[in-house]
Each structure stands twice: as structure tokens, then as C-alpha cells.
Structure 1
Amino acid sequence: MARHFLKGMDISFTDEIEAGGGSYFENGEQRDILDILQRSGVNSIRLRIWNDPAGGYCNLERTLAMAKRIKSRGLHFLLDFHYSDRWADPANQWKPKAWEDLNFDGLLEAVRGYTHEVLSALAEQGTLPDMVQVGNEITPGMLWDDGKVDGEYDTDDQWEKLTDLVNAGVSAVRAVDPGIELMIHIDRGGDWPSTLKFLERFERHEVDFDVIGQSFYPWWHGTLRDLRDNLTATADRFGKPIIVVETAYPWTLDQTKGHSFIVGSEDQLHEGYPATVEGQAAYLRDFAKLVADTPDGLGIGFHWWEPAWIPSQEQWSVGHPNNWANLTLFDFEGNKLHSLDVCGEFGE
């Protein structure tokens, strides 16, 4: 049975934005963000979950509420376990505070138990995710230092610990519902040697997963050609479905309203893709086609990271200003940009 090409959006901040009074608009009319996305061709939503975040968002309670909204519309649902109280990424893979003093066996049980608890709660309300990430951008490992594998920690013993931790999460997902697809997510979208090294390690340790996830941000990870070459090589070598589960591109560089952006200068842009709504649309179109053209049909979709993180408030639960507001698919006031409609150009 042919699978749908996933045209996804990570809208993990939306719950907080709405609680703070932020709104979204289409053709001048205020609408539910999920309705806008779905009418524009989006068919998958990704949410991150943190164990006990200081701000109270992206925890289990709020994830349950958002999951109801997602599944009520028949959207594909991807749940991203960070296994942290805050960001987990290549620079931050810190344990939840409640797990800091556990020995390794205790940490394995914590990963297994927490994963099972979250998914059981979602199952109870009839909103199980269709796909689960066990870890977020775990190229350098997760749950540091026990599961750290970069630098001086790049040893056989550490890789065994990391894969044991991942397998603990995987076993919990399989126990709740073996039909949930398992993703392993790294951040090497334009880097075949690093991708190969990581996935060969997981292959050697027989990690049980279904889908390869990659992050690809053009200002960090290379050109679209680099991405294409990596996806082609990954498909040929590993034969698993691949999702580029994080990407973005700016629609403006205008910082006159006091904004401070991660991508704020011309030298961060790629040739042929200006920082305009039209340039953003061109990037999304070419990027999505590239993913869809991965050999053997193994490029099964993408997710745009935080397309709706508009600068609607001064304070955020994550403790820093919104520096992503020009990488969204909505303008600063929450109006839909026509670049979002590119999703509708790709088949279901």
C-alpha cells in the first residue's frame, strides 16, 4: 500500500502562543491554526515533549490537549521525545532533573517507563501518535553523559550505552502499540560521512527502528545538492524511509521592529532564494521535490520547524526571545504567507 507523502509542520509553540493571546489569520479572517495548515495542504503535525519543563508547555498535560486537536482532524501525528526538561539538540542533551542521580540501569528504566506512560495516556484518550522519535537530533548522543558519543566519548562502550538507551525507548513504544513507526533523528542533512558513521553504529547494535529522520537548515548544513547527495546515499545504503524532519528558510531579513534573527544577513542565504515570501516559496518547492525524488520512493516527507512561532509576546517559557520569527510561514502579525500553499502542490 502506497504511503502518503508527509507535508508536515512542527507547531510545538502554538499552544503557548494561543494562551498568550496570539492568533492566526487567512485572507484577513482569524482561523484555527490547524484549519489553515490543513487547507494549505499540510497533512502531518509534529510536537515535541519535554519531561518537566519550567514553563509548563510541551509537557504531557499540554501534549494531550494538542493531540486531541490534531487527531480530530485526521492529521498524521509525529511525537518527538526529547528526554529532557528543555531543548535537546547537538549542543544540549541534558537529563531531566528527576533523572540526574540515577545509575545507568535506573536511567534505562526511566526512559522505558516514561515513554510507556506518555503513550499509554495518549492511547487512553484515543490519540496515539502515528510516529514517534526516540530522541531529538541525537548525533552526539542523548542523556549526557551516560549516552554521550562525541569527542572523547566516541568509544565502543559509549555507543553501547546510547543504543541501549534508545532501545529502552523503542521497546516501550512497541509494547504500547507495535503499529507506531519509530524514527531515529540526527542533524546531518548535508553530511553523508557523518550520517553513515552514525547509522552504521546503530545497525551494528541492532537498534530497532523504521524511519531515518534528518535536520537540514541551509545556513548550517550545506546546499540542496549536499542534501540530495546525502539522501541518495542514505537510501542506497540503508534502504529505510527518510523524512527531513526539520527545515526552514527566511521570508524577510527586516529587523527594523527590534527583532533579532538567527538568520539575519544576506551571506546566510543561498543563491536563487532571496529572503522574500517568493524566495521562501521557491526554497520550499525545490526542497520538497528533492525529498520526494529520493531513490526508490524512500523520501517520504518533511516537516518545517516552527512555521507558526510568531513574535506575539515578550516572554517565552523557553527563557529567550523569539529569534525565529522570519523563518515562519506566517508574518509577524500571524497572517498566513502564500509560501505555505506550496504544500498543496504535492500529492497526498
Structure 2
Amino acid sequence: MTRSAATKSPLSALSAEERAIDAFELLSDETRLAILVALWEEYEPFEAETGLRFSELYARVGTGDSGQFSYHLDRLDGQFVDATDEGYELSEMGLRFVQTVLAGAGIEEPDLGPARVDTTCTLCGGAVEILYEGDYLYILCTDCDGLWTEPGDRSHGHLGKFSLEPAGVSGRSPNEIYTAAWVSTFRKLYSMIEGVCPICSGPVERTLDVCDDHGPDGTCPSCGHRERVVARLRCPVCKEGAQSTAGSIAKYHPAVVGFYHDHGLALQHDIDDFETLVQRLNLGRTAVTVLSDEPPHVAVVIEIDGDRIRVELDETLSVVDIEE
């Protein structure tokens, strides 16, 4: 093996764009990471000047060689750091990077075993628990099979699985964590339904998947879901993804939002809206009928207090018909 082959960066084998690979390499140095953290500590979202002059930044980072420090700062300039007349400040990319690290690795991993939530399973009325594991919050029914099974896992009735940073769990009660997970997911779904990735602002591919071998009762052994129809949304740029029921997708249409409003139910919530959120999940029942397998085309009927609204979705999750 030649020396050049032995020392070649593993990143060179990746198919990612060159600028993305350069960004990974830029962040592999401790001094550069320290520069980003120092600038973040100075940053305030509503202040005009939030940067540091070279001398102030150098003093905060505390590296011994000003020449080496200047080299590392220059490498960051233009991607993660912006040079201004007043000094240096985080670029939007640099800010997002530090925020992501702090929301995840920057907070001690919460210890949240199964914890009871003050609601019941919408499928069977059983007790509901939440479990935080591997940056995911699982909502579980203790009595039934739930909406789907995790691969290789037949021991829990899964009602929800949400990507949630440790910051979303730390310092909150089980009810608040439950609400935060739903609210965060609603916002993510809304953005993706609108065609904008909430992570990178890229485009979103929206598909409606119908299981051809769906079982009649419980979770299907073929697809692992209780529902025959699953809505999937995926960003081809950063690969952010989300999946949901067709009923949940239909609830984002303005006509359905108005239908809920007319029946005293809000489709917007905050961390103190646990009871309203439970109302939304319990009272807004949906029934999905497959109108066509190929291309997928479904009708979603939402009924509240004897009133109903019917929404048709095509294979791209677009609403093609409304009947009130």
C-alpha cells in the first residue's frame, strides 16, 4: 500500500457533494469547535452586534499559538463563521450546527424509563406510557398491539415514535414530554406537507403507500402496521423522513382545521395544552377507505358529534376533493 493510499481521508469515498465533505473535515479539529462554541456563547438572537474581535475570540479559546489560531479561524470563515467589520460571528450554518449539538449531545441523556401519562389508548382504552430511548420517545399501550410493531419487537403496543432531542425531555413532566413530542411532530409534518424540509429547507417527496397483503385485524404481519395505508414524506437532500396515517395528513387541510374549530377543538397546541391535545387525539376519529391501489387514492372521513367531513388524497398526499 502506498503512503498516499494509506493516509487518504475516508470522506473521499463518500458520494456527498464536495462542499459537504469539506464541512465534515473542517469540524474535525478541537480548536475550530472551540471557536464555534465561543461565538455561540456571545450570540444573542435579538441583538445587532453579537460577534467577537480577533483578540477577544483568541483569548476565550485559549490556544497558545496565535498563528495556528488564525489558520483555524480562516478555515471556518465563509462556511461556519462570517467576518464582519466588528469581528467574527457565527454564520447561519455555524449557528445551526452548534444548536444541534447542544440540543443533543450538549445535554445529559435523560433517564426516562416507562412513565405513565394521564391519557388512555385511543384503540382500546388501556393505559399509556412513554419511554425515552436512543433519542426517540416511544408512546406505548400496555394493553393492546398498538398501531404498529418495531422490527423484531412484538412486546409493546406502539402508538407513536417521535424523534426528540434530550432538550425536549429534560426538566419536563411525563405529560409535558408527551405534549412536546406531539407538538414537535405536528410542526414537522406541516412543513413537510407544505413541501419544505424542516431540517434543510429542501424539497419533499410525498407518497401514499398501500399494503397489498394487509391482514384484517390488529397489526399486519406483512407491513407491521394496523393501518393498511401509510403516508410517507422524505427529503431527498438531507434524507429527513416522517410517516403518518392518512387521517393525520388530512387534518392539515384548511377545511378540516375549520371543521375542528367549529366543534371547539383546536389543531394548534403549546406545552400547556395537554388536555386539548388529548381531546384532539380522542375525538377526531378518522376512517380511511382505499379508492384505488394503483395509483394509491384514499378517502378519509373525519366525524365529530355526528358531523362529518370527507377528504380525498392522491398518491402524492395532495387533497383532490372535499365533501362537507
Q: TM-score, normalised by structure 1?
A: 0.23
Structure with greater helix share of residues: 1
Q: Which has the larger radius of gyration?
A: 2
Q: TM-score, normalised by structure 2?
A: 0.24
